[in-house]
Structure 1
Amino acid sequence: MASFEKRGKKWRAVVSAVEGANRVKRTKTFNTKREATAWAVKVESSKIDGYDIARSKVTLPEYFLEWYERYRKPDIRESTQARYISEYHRVINLFDGIKLDQLTTPLIQDKLDEYGKTVAYTTIAKFWDIVKSSLRDAHIDGLIKKDIWSRVKVRSTKSGAHRGVLSAQEFVKLQSYLYQHIDSDSDLGILIALETGARLGEISALTVNDIDFKKSTISISKSYSVAVQKVTETKNEQSHRTISITEDLKDVLQEHQSLLPLYSHYYNRQFSRRLNYILEKLDIPRIRFHDLRHSHASFLLYNDVSIDYVSKRLGHKNTRITLDVYAHMLKEKEQEQDQIALTFLSSSPQMSPDSKNNA
């Protein structure tokens, strides 16, 4: 219910509403009663549309923590919980004191751009995916009036910010080297990643019992978390999968099965350091360990393996995720197919100069 009172030459509007167990008042002063009335109607409309006046005054960090505790924490692994808490601290660093009703697209973009000056593209992209999910739920909960997230762009100006993928030639070069130089548990882990596309945690948790040497398959059913330093569930239900492997990889695993599970030898960044050493030795541009997974998928897609098969091999929930991650590779392939099609059409007998003249 709105009320109005004259204060000197100005008009003050007061809108009262019950939010949960509390009665909330919003006030604002205007030059004319017409302006005060229009504002009160707008606020009343917001209440009718489900906009929560009181709760919209909480800060983004406060809402993010509440959202995580209620909607995410009960359904995710302990290792993933640690990641969310880490992202929560980043939310505090970037948005401390900023209330939900103060958030705008330009403000969020500026904050992300600021963050993008210090971290790689993949880091800020993962952070924004989580924050964006919380903002969508805040909108559903009536705490944010409109979509303020869709136009926000993820950018990074840090050197080496974008994800790296081995070219087909580099893939084969690294593959050949590894088969000749399994000198440590890290070498074995790198080869498994390159040939299966499995995540580092999944590779680290592999045991001899997960390998079917008769069928040449690997069963992915668990993951090792560095954050909590123990074997946990896989990332999601779809991550439980059986991966076919080559005879060559099977022979290597059989020969070096005493190294499994790899997490028993694990220390911080050992795989990344070893990978960097090998890439430098082979004169291949540096990539992250996780990029071996991207390289595996890209190599298969480039060689015309179906998107459905690659998606299942990677343990993606659906092909949409695969398409989102590897759209750049599929676009390159499409352009290559365009050129092949045009070349064939141009060389067709029906399109020869004589044929054109007789047409």
Structure 2
Amino acid sequence: MATITKRGKSYRVQISNYKNGVNNRISKTFKTLTEAKRWAMQNEIAKGNGVDLASRNESFSIFFENWVHLVKKNDVRPATFINYTRTIPIVKQLFGDTKLSDLNDIVVQMKIDEYGKTHSRKTTTEVLLKIRTSLRYAYGRGLLSSDFAGLVKTRGKELDKRNKALSITDFKKLRSYLLNNPKNDFHILVLLALETGVNGGYKM
């Protein structure tokens, strides 16, 4: 059973959570009695459905890391798995010790917005997609009370487009092609630019 105790201007909820004969109580403090009762009821229902409430007290960072190594490792190709592992330190930096039970769309959106301030929209989207997938897995396991992952959006900044220099390999391929195919003036002009270092702003 859940117990609610008033402490000053807040309300503390404690829920018994027996496992292997040990009571691993979970608790949380709320500003209003309504919020406290709602949380207590949600968790009592979850406990009645067989959900391990102690798992909800696990930090999202630890959950995400375990999910990557125990679940995604066997679901994706090695190269994709490496991309997932690179997201682990990002999640740890963003979420710290934030518990699964404390997550909702607003909390996650704030974290994604924070990340998006210093990263491109593309990079932010890639991180968010991985976080979304893990959140849906957590919801499927009963570790989240609602499936809010789809409500979180990418708001990363768009970086200005910039010219990308050719690699040495690509440079040699292009030069070889132009030398062997001097078909028109454009090919000759490009070859001239390669050989002399003339940039695109120079008018001939």
TM-score (norm 2): 0.65
SS at match of 2:16: strand
Give 1:86's aligned residue. Answer: 86
**Distance 1:150-1:189 versus aligned 2 partners, 3 A rule:** farther
Question: What does the per-residue CA deviation read over 1:28-56, in whole Å, with 9 as the maximum and x for residues that have no partner?
Answer: 799xxxx9988755432121245431001
> Residue 60 of structure 1 corresponds to which residue in structure 2?
60
Contact kept, 8 Å, 1:73 with 1:81, in 2: the verdict is yes
- After superposition, the C-alpha distances for 1:71-123 in whole angstroms (9 at most, x for unaligned) are 11134343333322211111011111111111121111111111111111111
RMSD: 4.1
In structure 1, the residue matched to 2:107 is 107
Residues in 1 aligned to 2:56 and 2:155: alpha-carbon distance in whole angstroms? 28
What amino acid is aligned across from residue 186 of structure 1 in structure 2? D
Residues in 1 aligned to 2:44 and 2:84: alpha-carbon distance in whole angstroms: 36
Shift of residue 157, structure 1, vs aligned partner: 2.2
Residues 113-132 of structure 1: matches in 2 within 5 Å?
113-132=113-132
Alignment of 1:274-353 (within 5 A): 281=200
Q: Count residues in correspondence.
A: 172
Report the Cα distance in structure 2 between the residues aligned to 1:186 and 1:45, rounded to whole angstroms.
61
Indicate how the Cα distance of structure 1 residues 102 and 127 shifts in structure 2: closer, same or farther if over 3 A, else same: same
Distance in 2 of aligned mates of 1:103 and 1:57: 11
User: Is the contact between residue 2 and residue 44 of structure 2 (CA under 8 Å) also seen in structure 1?
Assistant: no
> 2: distance between equivalents of 1:6 and 1:94?
32
Structure 2: distance between partners of 1:88 and 1:109? 18
Q: Greater CA radius of gyration, 1 or 2?
A: 1
- Measured at CA, do residues 61 and 39 of structure 1 come closer, stay the same or move farther in structure 2, by a change above 3 Å? closer
Q: Which amino acid aligns with 1:157?
A: K
Aligned to 2:170: 186
In 1, the alpha carbon distance for the partners of 2:76 and 2:136 equals: 19
1:20–1:55 distance in 2 versus 1, CA, 3 Å: farther
Letter in 2 for 1:71: V
For residues 148 and 5 of structure 1, the distance between their equivalents in structure 2, rounded to whole angstroms, comes to: 27
Q: Assess, with a 3 A threshold, how the Cα gap between structure 1 residues 118 and 24 changes in structure 2: closer, same or farther.
A: same
Q: Is the 8 A contact 2:42 2:145 kept in 1?
A: no
Q: 1-side partners of 2:12 and 2:115: how far apart? A: 41
Give the distance between the partners of 1:79 and 1:87, measured in 2 at CA: 13
Relative to 1, partners in 2 of residues 1:81 and 1:189: Cα closer, same or farther, differing over 3 Å?
Answer: farther
TM-score of the aligned structures, taking structure 1 as reference length: 0.40
Q: Which runs of 4+ in 1 moved over 4 A?
A: 3-7, 11-14, 19-22, 27-30, 35-42, 187-190
Partners of 2:168 and 2:12 in 1: CA distance: 76
- Decide whether aligned partners of structure 1 residues 185 and 57 sit closer, same or farther in structure 2, where only a CA change above 3 A counts: same
Change (3 A) 1:26 1:148: same
Unmatched runs of 5 consecutive residues or more in structure 1: 165-182, 191-251, 256-273, 284-359
- Output the CA distance in 2 between the equivalents of 1:29 and 1:88: 29
Aligned to 1:48: 48
Contact kept in structure 2, 1:116 and 1:158, CA below 8 Å: no
Q: Which has the higher contact order (CA 8 A, sep 6+)?
A: 2
- Is contact 2:61-2:95 (8 Å) kept? yes
| Conserved 8 A contact 1:118-1:158 | no
Using the TM superposition, give the Cα deviation of residue 5 of structure 1 relative to its aligned residue in structure 2, in angstroms: 9.6
Q: Match for residue 157 of structure 2?
A: 157
Percent identity over paired residues: 27
Residue 71 of structure 2 aligns to a residue in which SS?
helix
Tell me the CA shift for residue 135 of structure 1: 0.6
Q: Are the counterparts in 1 of residues 26 and 54 from structure 2 also a CA contact under 8 Å?
A: no
1:2-41 equivalences under 5 Å are: 2=1, 15-19=15-19, 23-26=23-26, 41=41
